[in-house]
Structure 1
Amino acid sequence: MNQFQKFQSQYLEHFNDFLHQQLVQEIVQPQLQSSMLYSLDAGGKRIRPFLLLATVKSLQPQADLETYFKIAGSLELVHTYSLIHDDLPEMDNDDYRRGQLTNHKKFTPAQAVLAGDALLTQAFLWLTDNSLVPVLQSQLVWTLANAAGGQGMVAGQTIDIINTGKKLDLTQITTLDAQKTGALITAAVKMGALCTQADQEQLMHLQRFAQNFGVAFQIYDDILDVTSTEAKMGKKVGKDQAVGKNTYVSLLGLPSAQERLAAIVHQAHQELQAISLADSILAASLEYFD
């Protein structure tokens, strides 16, 4: 177990309990609460919130991380909403997510849409209903909104949908994934840096680190889609290529995609080394790609 995994294991159960209990307290409509919790409680790697928490801990070792659970949780709410909507028949039309029926299969497509809508809006409530100073709250809201909306994740998903079945080049795929996958990951690290009042040099290198992490995350996911199993992934594998999705593996081939992954992970390490974080918990997160 590496340093990042130990960090996750130290806080994961408590963080998951926090997510569940907050929604139980705040969402009183029973059917809506049930469908929101169904997807939120399904588990997952919690990569985005833990990148935020790892950034805080790396820059401010004495920080009380529970203070930032709502901020980290807002990222997981947005991510979960995006998965619910991605799985819908109108989008990727998936039946399973994280080893269980997708939200629209468990409930209905209409209820899944509403659960996603509620998770998205609840995230911004969490960014303003906390003990942080108003200026920081405003910065966090802007950062997450910019990453999640029409300049980021939603834009990337749009590019993905309209280009399914069409062949994109490497630059186009990189742009697509930087928005669809990378924007929220970059926001996680940036939001953690903002919480610790990181200086401009730190912010610059951390943003570059996060951008590299986001690209690496997508390449790694593309690789797993052709090398892993449905049992390990909790969803169908091989589907991206079958439906004509643009992936690094389909464009470059598996060996070249693996080489590109290694190069990007190396670049991410260099960004952290530039600000003396080469041995940090945040740096250990890159072992996810080993």
Structure 2
Amino acid sequence: MKRADFEEKLATTAKTVGDFLDEVLKSNQLVAGTPQRLLGAMRHGVLNGGKRLRPFLVVETARLFSGDAKAALQVGAAIECVHSYSLVHDDLPAMDDDDLRRGKPTVHKAYDEATAILAGDALLTLSFGLVSSLETLPAPARASLVTLLAKRAGAPGMVGGQMLDILAGDGRSEIEITRMQAMKTGALISCSCEAGVILSGASDEERVRLRHFGDLIGLAFQLADDLLDEYGDAKVVGKATGKDKAKGKQTLGRIYGRRVLEDRLDALVAEAEELMQPFREKAETLLEAARFVAWRKN
């Protein structure tokens, strides 16, 4: 698949997900009665663009196993709500203290800190409502998705990874950094791939395979982030660079340098390609996603 074709497909899915979330926040019973200021902050946090990589992985993994496309869109949107809530909270002064997100004021700047906290809380709980209300899926599949999302988004996953990042200093080892990255960033990306298998009713063996594939993409995503933060141009990246260095946080980019990390990214892509060989050309879109994550410029 040509990169241009892939990027067009990614953009199309991103728009579809954005339109779906826009409609949910306008008329879905899950948000009925929400105070307007809180609803505005939620919209600001989740409808501010982005690649929508996680829902894209859900949709494409479900497609690989001939899963329900509408169910995949709703589960992907739920995971995007979790991702967006994490960004709203990460931007807070108590966390990363960022004023801009994708070129726009962060939620706590556009509104206030208390509203931003509540908007994040509301997006998180909305995500579980979106999954549990999917009546087109069998109840066991819905329960499995809720459990998966709780683990990957919660203390053993994304939230725990953020805690490790807060506690981190300049003396972190490679093992400590890799564990933090796998939890903070990789858990939700891997969750997206695994969710696509669950909602499709595929086998446990395929679930394990796609979970591993998601783990590889998650690691590649964070390694690419380290490269962009250490060596990227802020104008191209679209956000401030050098933040980890300024905060005294050790990264793999600082430990090993650009060339070693680029070689590792190539190796991760090669491993992903080998893992998906049984699916042949049916997996080409997912493989292009792995390449895109590893070699992105922003």
Alignment TM-score, normalising by the size of structure 2:
0.91
Deviations along 1:111-160, one digit per CA (max 9) or x if unpaired, are 10000000000000000112211111000000100000011011111011
CA–CA separation in structure 2 for the residues paired with 1:232 and 1:30:
35
Q: Is the 8 A contact 2:68 2:200 kept in 1?
A: no
What is the aligned partner in structure 2 of residue 40 from structure 1?
46
Amino acid at match of 1:271: L
Aligned counterpart for 2:271 among listed residues 267, 272, 280: 267
Post-superposition shift, 1:274?
4.3
Aligned counterpart for 1:206 among listed residues 210, 216, 220: 210
Change (3 A) 1:269 1:278: farther
Post-superposition shift, 1:83?
0.4
What is the aligned partner in structure 2 of residue 158 from structure 1?
163
Amino acid at match of 1:5: E
What is the aligned partner in structure 1 of residue 199 from structure 2?
195
Q: Which moved more, 1:246-255 or 1:206-215?
A: 246-255
Post-superposition shift, 1:101?
1.2
Post-superposition shift, 1:253?
1.4
Post-superposition shift, 1:167?
1.6
Q: Does 1:134 find its partner at 2:136?
A: no
Amino acid at match of 1:133: P
Q: Is the 8 A contact 2:107 2:116 kept in 1?
A: yes
Q: Is the 8 A contact 2:14 2:51 kept in 1?
A: no
Q: Does 1:144 find its partner at 2:146?
A: no
Q: Does 1:112 find its partner at 2:109?
A: no
Q: Is the 8 A contact 1:4 1:282 kept in 2?
A: no
Post-superposition shift, 1:244?
1.6
- The number of residues matched between the two structures is 287
Within 5 Å, which residues of 2 pair with 1:1-290?
2=3, 3-26=5-28, 27=31, 28-60=34-66, 63-130=67-134, 131-163=136-168, 165-276=169-280, 279-288=283-292, 289-290=294-295
Q: Is the 8 A contact 1:85 1:116 kept in 2?
A: yes
CA–CA separation in structure 2 for the residues paired with 1:68 and 1:263:
30
CA–CA separation in structure 1 for the residues paired with 2:71 and 2:145:
14
Amino acid at match of 2:157: G
Q: Is the 8 A contact 2:62 2:68 kept in 1?
A: no
Q: Is the 8 A contact 2:59 2:76 kept in 1?
A: yes
Q: 1:204 aligns to what SS in structure 2?
A: helix
Alignment TM-score, normalising by the size of structure 1:
0.94
CA–CA separation in structure 2 for the residues paired with 1:233 and 1:137:
37
Q: Is the 8 A contact 1:48 1:188 kept in 2?
A: yes
Post-superposition shift, 1:6?
3.5
User: Relative contact order (alpha carbons < 8 A, sep ≥ 6): 1 or 2 greater?
Assistant: 1
Post-superposition shift, 1:284?
1.7
CA–CA separation in structure 1 for the residues paired with 2:282 and 2:16:
27
Q: 1:150 aligns to what SS in structure 2?
A: coil
- CA RMSD, Structure 1 to Structure 2 (Å): 1.6
CA–CA separation in structure 1 for the residues paired with 2:203 and 2:252:
34
Q: Is the 8 A contact 1:147 1:184 kept in 2?
A: yes
The sequence identity of aligned pairs, in percent, is: 36
Change (3 A) 1:159 1:152: same
Q: Which moved more, 1:223-232 or 1:34-43?
A: 223-232
Q: Which moved more, 1:203-212 or 1:146-155?
A: 203-212
